[in-house]
Structure 1
């Protein structure tokens, strides 16, 4: 076992939660996607329930968590494996998600389409990061 591999394995043993950050972020992306699609369906079915889920603070908190988790997991990945593509892909997805928040919550569905696209790109960035680390 090389020194670098041993050092990496040793660091991971002391902080196992760090190794799982990309998986947590992918899971959060999945939850976000489910939320966006469910909100659209609920909005179409029941405007009252949709109104609760469309509260701007709900989206602002979710995006803030995604940005923090992405910065830690994807930034750590660049430092660990040296590949910038996963972080760039994740940042692009986060940017699309942020831009989608500026669109109106209406029946056109554009906000949902752009949010789901951003979430998918963010999840892809985390998956690329996870693969580059192994």
Structure 2
């Protein structure tokens, strides 16, 4: 039974990495598009997008990284991901603009690194 659960956790870790990358892309593209074109800020910078994104990141990280920490008994993925989620949470309190983008990008990079570290014992190169 344990073996059948590992592929699901691995897929969720990979989804977390993908979502982290999409979030960073959203931050950078939003600033560039709004700065260059001057339209769409009411939708692109909507606080609801960031709150929902943080909620999704929290759920995926809690399940996969928590599951991984219990499974392989390593703290590094958990600590790195929680630091990233803290940065992402701090970005919600920052004003829209570069400050928020920098905090969010640092956060999603750390969450993504946490997922990578969580996958590491299961990657073929690590065996």
Q: Same fold (TM over 0.5)?
A: yes
- Is 1:124 the counterpart of 2:113? The answer is yes
Correspondence for 1:53 among 32, 44, 48: 44
C-alpha contact 1:92 1:118 (8 A) present in aligned 2: yes
Alignment partner of 1:48: what SS? coil
Query: Match of 1:101, SS?
Result: helix
What is the aligned residue count?
A: 123
Please point out which of 37, 53, 62 is paired with 2:28.
Answer: 37
Matches within 5 A, 1:1-134: 10-13=1-4, 16-106=7-97, 109-134=98-123
Q: Encode CA deviations 1:63-119: one digit per residue, 9 max, x unaligned.
A: 00000000001000101100011011000000001001111114xx11111110111
What is the Cα deviation at residue 51 of structure 1? 2.2
Normalised TM-score (structure 2): 0.89
Which residues of structure 1 form unaligned runs of 5+? 1-9
Unaligned runs of 5+ in 2: none
Determine if contact 1:80/1:133 at 8 Å carries over to the other structure. no
Give SS of 1:20's match: helix
Alignment partners' CA distance in 2, 1:42 and 1:50: 9
Aligned partners of 1:49 and 1:90: how far apart in 2? 31
- Give a deviation string over 1:26-58, Cα, whole Å, max 9, x none: 011011111111111112123331221111111
From the CA coordinates, give the structure whose radius of gyration is larger: 1
C-alpha RMSD of matched pairs (Å): 1.5
Moved beyond 4 Å, runs of 4+: none
